[in-house]
Amino acid sequence: MRVFVTGGSGFVGGHVIEALRSDGHEVHALARSPSSASRVAAFGATPVIGALGEIKPDAIRDCDAVVHAAAHVASWGPWEDFAQINIEGTRQLVAAARAAGVGRFVHIGTEAALFAGQDLVDVDESYPHPKRQRFAYSRSKAEAEKLVLAADDVAGMRTVVLRPRLVWGPRDASVGAAVERMGKDGTWIWLDGGRHRTSTCHVDNLCSAVGAALAADTGGRTYFIADDGERSLRQFLSAIAAARGLSLPDRSVPGWVARTVAAVLDIAWRTIGRVTPPPLVPFEISMMSASITVRTGRARAELGWRPVRTVADGLEALRTGPVHNPHERP
């Protein structure tokens, strides 16, 4: 299969390219710059120079599938930035893929599309989008997945949305990097003692779900993807820190206090026109003071998907270096 990947120079997209190549697929990847082109080539893809929102059908004319992993992943900023990339970029890519005759479109979504500050406990795909979405990232990702699902066509392009929760693993530049940075500089602090429960998704498990979605014959469906089991944020993030040789301090503040301060700072920052995020960001604070756990039964039943990496195995790999790639052919 020839697959076109967006976001291939990033954490998730790079792993997706490597997994697809290991499975014998030919991969072409969007690259906005020479440095991005070098990165996707190193992962095993043929670079296609261009930008999200400006992809011509001819660029993907001979591709069997698209895996859309590119997104504006930020916790704060102007709505226009989120809308341009996450919504309009997805809209244009869907239209280009349809015009090019692509048969399958897999969109990397997020459970954050359902998040407006509330707990999401043991939720499945029947859980509705909130009527009012407080966060720009959540709103934009919800609109993007609606566009993808609406484009499903039994006689044409089939579309699937995968929603991983808290993706982690080698080369993680978000969760793991933040834990390491704040652990080293002494600014780490728990909210509510880190007691809130969470599902997680090792990047290898997400990549195996991408492969399953490409091989399946279903369309117009959303699937949660997560590691087996759940754990508290304190258990998981402490383990991530330990894998990097760090010990996180015990300091904690009540979540409601942090949310209140973050809301006040957000108003102040926007009022004075600051372009850099405030020290406490409402989306991040809300995520860290909520329980978010998801069910993966639909992916298991309809895609035949199962996790290929345990949490213990993934943590050991972070401590000691790479272990056997579950996607690699013998």
Is 137 one of the annotated active-site residues of the chain?
yes
Tens digits of pLDDT across the chain (330 residues): 999 999 999 999 999 999 999 999 999 999 999 999 999 999 999 999 999 999 999 999 999 999 999 999 999 999 999 999 999 999 999 999 999 999 999 999 999 999 999 999 999 999 999 999 999 999 999 999 999 999 999 889 999 999 999 999 999 988 888 898 898 888 899 999 999 999 999 999 999 999 999 999 999 999 999 999 999 999 999 999 999 899 999 999 999 999 999 999 999 999 999 999 999 999 999 999 999 999 999 999 999 999 999 999 999 999 987 544 444 433
What pLDDT, on a 0 to 100 scale, did the predictor assign at position 326? 43
Residue 213 domain-assigned (yes or no): yes
Residue 106 domain-assigned (yes or no): yes
What pLDDT, on a 0 to 100 scale, did the predictor assign at position 329? 37
CATH number at residue 34: 3.40.50.720
Total domains in the chain come to 1
Residue 143 domain-assigned (yes or no): yes
**Per residue, what are the HEC states of the chain?**
CEEEEECCCCHHHHHHHHHHHHCCCEEEEEECCHHHHHHHHHHCCEEEECCCCCCCHHHHCCCCEEEECCCCCCCCCCHHHHHHHHHHHHHHHHHHHHHCCCCEEEEECCHHHHCCCCCEEEECCCCCCCCCCCCHHHHHHHHHHHHHHHCCCCCCCEEEEEEECCEECCCCCCHHHHHHHHHHHCCCCEEHHHCCEECCEEHHHHHHHHHHHHHCCCCCEEEEECCCCCEEHHHHHHHHHHHCCCCCCCCEECHHHHHHHHHHHHHHHHHCCCCCCCCCCHHHHHHHCCCEEECCHHHHHHCCCCCCCCHHHHHHHHHHCCCCCCCCCC
What pLDDT, on a 0 to 100 scale, did the predictor assign at position 21? 97
Residue 100 domain-assigned (yes or no): yes
Residue 164 domain-assigned (yes or no): yes
Residue 211 domain-assigned (yes or no): yes
What pLDDT, on a 0 to 100 scale, did the predictor assign at position 322? 52
Provide the domain limits for residue 30: 2-171+199-229+295-320
Catalytic site residue from 137, 168, 190, 283: 137
Residue 126 domain-assigned (yes or no): yes
Residue 128 domain-assigned (yes or no): yes
What pLDDT, on a 0 to 100 scale, did the predictor assign at position 328? 44
